Amino acid sequence: MLEGFVPYPEEFVKRYKEKGYWIDKTLGEEFDEFTAKHKDRIALACNGEYVTYKELSERVNRLSLHFIALGLRPYDRLIMQLPNELEFAYVYFAAVKIGVIPIMALPVHREAEISFFAQFTEAKAHAVPSSFKDIDHQALSREIKKKNPHLTITLVSGDNVAKDGISIKELLNDKIEERIPVTTLNEYRPDPMEPAVFQLSGGTTGVPKIIPRTHNDYALTFKKVSEIVGLTEESVFGIAIPVNHNFALSSPGLQGALYSGAKVVLIPSPRNEVVFENIQRERITMMPTPPALLLRWMEDPELSKYDISSLKSVLAGGARLVAEAAKRIKPILGCDYHQNLGMSEGMLFWTRRDDPEDLLLNTQGAPMFDDDEIRIVDENDRDVPYGEAGELLVRGPTTIRGYYNSPEYNKKAFTPDGFYRTGDVAKMYRGRYLSVEGRIKDTINRGAEKISAEEVENHILAHPKVENCAFVAMPDRILGEKGCAFVLTKNNQPLTLEELNNFLKNERNISIFKLPERLELVTSFPMTEVGKIDKKELRRIIAEKIEAETKGEG
């Protein structure tokens, strides 16, 4: 067993297998099945390039063989930073096929994040794009290799591959299967009970937590979601958010759509005009759409210039979709929607297609399986009366039992009997439907992208002028939340947002999406009774201030 992985207890393994949730097929075997079944249908579309299921299968097998030739072996880790492009699918499936575990980093992650993943997981390989926005990923990989000798392989998509990188295109052009038979891959079959993929948690601590998803539970997830949202061979599934995300990869995501025989459109940018153009050109029928995306679409005066009539349903998740926004979806976008509460740790809640209006509007859905156990508890872990708000605890056949290699943190994040503490505050509604009312975890949900407050605070505290700080969410009309830094400087020196962010960007090398978008200098902090900075009060102060400013403008 992979060291650092928390396995499911025997009695649950037995139960989940007996009930048919886990069928002991690897993601690679699932892949072989759906590619064989749908052969000449289009599997992938990206930037006007099309790939059939058969071609996808051939390319993935070829790449798997190359990975073996390069020395990659089952349970080796590969940091995945490829964006929404065809190479993402090739590398992802080629890796999971031979049990190489992709770590689902984001293309926008920078040195602070990637060097942590490299160190913490002892990754052997790093897959990067040759050009992406203003990040030089190949230089980044080179720097990280210097400090992490186990990282030896940089796989590069696109054309401008440096000498120390391995071109994915060149690997794909080399018919290795003529020298080494494809059947060799069978020798590298991973155990379906072992981790297939490392997802990343939004995190509430100084460093991201790694979520090990097994072949069994990941396959169960994307198959069930596909059924719930009604994916078929006729569906055209558009992905505009980063495909690395759990939502875009397996809820139902790339994998669920391919499993259903649909055409998946990998959209290289979430910008409205790029997305609308893709919907129109490819006749997209379904998309995962965090509320921020939907709000941007619905407010875009250019929307009417595009024909988006193919769109049948949008999948709202990642952040709370407020009822007023939900009500506008049908009139403006002309399609239906599903709400879902999702988490990379596993359990998913979905509204169903025939749900009555009040469930659709006001809840984030019900669990997918009878064996998904949910509890709503107070601060002493006692179940609250039905219908009252409390922390949501979850356990089930798709929910992890522990973060990778984090025994101490796991004691806090899971109950002794294995429930994951979501940090979300929820209420039960009509049977097992649930509405998210807030959260107790210390994160900022910026348009469904999660930012750990503590992680950013640690970087801010490293600034020579900073005495103390607190990073909290402030309301944003489109993104839902953005990060605001409250800072007390040493001797009350002046500090600007620009100065702080230059430091965070250039000295601390953190991702741009985590940067504070507002700085409030303070001379003292409100404190709680136990002597901690009162973040609830800070959130109230900044929300009030922003509201007053907005009114002032109006």
> Can you give the binding site for ligand J2J, defined by CB under 6 A?
202, 246-247, 251, 317-320, 339-344, 348, 364, 422, 424, 436, 439, 448, 450
Distance CA 81, CA 327 (A): 36
Q: Smallest gap, in angstroms, from Cβ of residue 229 to ligand J2J?
A: 11
Q: What residues have CB less than 8 Å from 241, skipping those under 6 apart?
A: 247, 248, 270, 288, 289, 290, 293, 448
The residue at minimum Cβ distance from ligand J2J is 342
Between residues 463 and 535, which has the closer beta carbon with respect to ligand J2J? 535
Identify the bridge partners of residue 452 per DSSP, sorted by sequence position: 443
Between residues 45 and 321, which has the closer beta carbon with respect to ligand J2J? 321
Q: Smallest gap, in angstroms, from Cβ of residue 495 to ligand J2J?
A: 31
Q: Smallest gap, in angstroms, from Cβ of residue 230 to ligand J2J?
A: 17
HEC string of 398-424? Answer: CCCCCCCCCHHHHHHHECCCCCEEEEE
**How would you classify the pairing of strands 420-429 and 166-167?**
unpaired
Q: Smallest gap, in angstroms, from Cβ of residue 221 to ligand J2J?
A: 8
The H-or-E segment that residue 143 falls in is: helix 137-147
* Contact indicator for 217, 8 with CB cutoff of 8 Å: no
Q: Smallest gap, in angstroms, from Cβ of residue 300 to ligand J2J?
A: 22
* Contact indicator for 427, 387 with CB cutoff of 8 Å: yes
Between residues 165 and 252, which has the closer beta carbon with respect to ligand J2J? 252
Helix intervals (H) in 264-379: 272-282, 291-298, 323-333, 357-362
Between residues 422 and 489, which has the closer beta carbon with respect to ligand J2J? 422
Q: What residues have CB less than 8 Å from 438, skipping those under 6 apart?
A: 389, 424, 425
- Burial of 306 (C-beta count, 10 Å sphere; 0-12/13-18/19+): middle
Distance CA 536, CA 530 (A): 14
Between residues 156 and 366, which has the closer beta carbon with respect to ligand J2J? 366
Considering Cα of 485, then 490, then 491, then 495, what sign does the dihedral take? negative
Cα dist from 197 to 21, 62, 200, whole Å: 18, 20, 10
**How would you classify the pairing of strands 42-46 and 49-52?**
antiparallel
Q: Smallest gap, in angstroms, from Cβ of residue 68 to ligand J2J?
A: 31
Between residues 342 and 402, which has the closer beta carbon with respect to ligand J2J? 342
**Residue 237: what are its φ and ψ, rounded to 5°?**
-105, 115
**How would you classify the pairing of strands 42-46 and 263-266?**
parallel
Q: Smallest gap, in angstroms, from Cβ of residue 480 to ligand J2J?
A: 9
Between residues 102 and 342, which has the closer beta carbon with respect to ligand J2J? 342
**How would you classify the pairing of strands 480-489 and 210-214?**
unpaired
Between residues 99 and 202, which has the closer beta carbon with respect to ligand J2J? 202
Q: Smallest gap, in angstroms, from Cβ of residue 399 to ligand J2J?
A: 12
Omega of the bond prior to 416 within 30 degrees of 0, cis?
no
Q: Smallest gap, in angstroms, from Cβ of residue 84 to ligand J2J?
A: 17
Between residues 104 and 127, which has the closer beta carbon with respect to ligand J2J? 104
Between residues 138 and 246, which has the closer beta carbon with respect to ligand J2J? 246
Q: Smallest gap, in angstroms, from Cβ of residue 448 to ligand J2J?
A: 6
